[in-house]
Amino acid sequence: MRIKTEKKRGFSSSKILAVMGKNRYRSAYEQWLIDTKQVEQELSESAIQKTEMGHLMEPVIKQAVEAKIGKELTLDKNKYMHDKYDFLTIEFDALDHEEGIVYEFKNTVHDKDFIVEMYYPQVQSAMAISGYNLARICFLKDGWKLGMIDVDRDENFIEHMIYVGEYYITCVEEVTPPDEDYIASLVEKIEFFKEEEVDPLEEIGLEAADVELLEEWADVRNEISNLKRQESALKGHFIDVVGQYAKGGVNYKNAKYYRKGGIDIERLMYDHPEIDFEQYRKPDSSYYRQTLKVKKTSEDLDI
């Protein structure tokens, strides 16, 4: 790796998930609009506060991690790029040069599964740039509980991440919108994103009437979503109206209820590591999950 001195835009680790079409909050096209300066990145007040607090907490998390592992980590705020693929850039939170470990620090309220989902691409990019084979995501959950997740180097992910990066950075430099279907064809080869299916699915043929019913189902789902948004707006209007109203066919009530809190399993496991919780795990089960996506053609849309 080498220090990044050029000012040209790169495929930084923080945007990889969005460009791959796997970010819950931003698409590849939206990321491209930001990177080509056609729109400004908009953050809510809470998002800005979370980002600022995350930066403030990084030294605290680093100190807590160092106390736990019994050694001092290298803090280097230079921005680095890959030796060969200079569009891959990163700013490391910390490094352990002795053992060859990349450290990533997060202040969060989320669980481990969410953390891995969100930051797996980021630490794979860090390992690709540094040449190290291990990354450690260290997180402070709920402001007090320190956790660590070790992530091994994933050559399959890195290889196809580079393919995506090469394509995307060309789109940015040439100000050409990225083809999200093409990116998806690259990403589908990444093992990390593949869901496990017990039984392989066969391509099925449907009668025209069944296809129409699927389209009708999609329309119903869209209508339900619209109705839920309308209901949320109406409920929001009355959220502070506490009491009861009953007249004619309308019966409205907004009362305060109390519910006994559940057991915090994560904290129980943290406080009692001597307990083998696996012996209390229920047997695995299988299930079916139906998904439906209907892409309307331009002829179907009223533009």
Q: Is the pLDDT of residue 296 over 80?
A: no
pLDDT band at 24 (very low <50, low <70, confident <90, very high): confident
Q: Residues 70-90: what's their mean pLDDT?
A: 89
> Alpha-carbon distance 241 to 255, whole Å?
9
Give the pLDDT score at 119: 92
pLDDT band at 184 (very low <50, low <70, confident <90, very high): very high
Strand spans (E) along 180-288: 243-247, 250-254
> Alpha-carbon distance 217 to 302, whole Å?
19
Element (H, E) at 26: none
Q: Is the pLDDT of residue 201 over 80?
A: no
> Alpha-carbon distance 109 to 50, whole Å?
11
CATH topology for 2-187 is Lambda Exonuclease; Chain A (3.90.320)
Q: Is the pLDDT of residue 298 over 50?
A: no
pTM: 0.65
Give the pLDDT score at 301: 41
Amino acid (1-letter code) at residue 167: Y
Q: Residues 20-40: what's their mean pLDDT?
A: 88
